[in-house]
Structure 1
Amino acid sequence: MASKLKQLQSQACRASKFVTENGTAYYKQLLDQNKQYIQDPPTVEKCNELSKQLFYTRLASIPGRTESFWKELDYVKHMWKNRKELAVEDVSIAALFGLECFAWFCAGEIVGRGFTFTGYYV
């Protein structure tokens, strides 16, 4: 156990040394690559304006998203009406999707309880 701790400490030291040596260069490179997104001058007023633009743009996109939702729902209804003609591939994809949703639900419940497995007696 002590050797694992020493190994972890040495890896952490190496990682922090790497970040110390290369972090500034990476930061400058990242800013250079994305300078078209940087607002000059970076003022509080400009930040407030951009946040309002984002909010109202998202608000304006709601009708398009609801329309897409209803189209998807109509497609699912159509598939349910014609379920006798479904291929095995379509049914298996739907089953895997349902299983994935259930797994994410279970994972969320575990995380919500603070990573404790209560109620299960093993």
Structure 2
Amino acid sequence: MASKFPPKLVQASNILFKNGSTYYKQMVKQNKHHVQEPPTIEKCQTLAKQLFYTLCYEAFGKEVGHFKNAIKSKEELNVENAGVECFAWFCGGEITGRGFTFTGYYV
């Protein structure tokens, strides 16, 4: 009976079926230093906060870069764009001042 799947797909799935378990075990062994022991709720919350602040820091850096580019190209800067920038910085400052809690209506 002919397979309805392309031959390369069948070949790849056969290789994965034969070697997938070995590859997975090897990958887990190589990356064991990334696993946090013991897996507690406090450790999970700490990692979640670290991830959140890391992402906020990266987003802040991108926003500052965008602001620098906007200042360099002053001919593209109009009142509407400047107003949106000011409002975004105001909202960010308010959220930061409240300890990154979201309250009120900023939509």
Q: What is the TM-score with the length of structure 1 in the denominator?
A: 0.45
Q: Which structure is higher in RCO with an 8 Å CA cutoff and minimum separation 6?
A: 2
More helix by share: 1
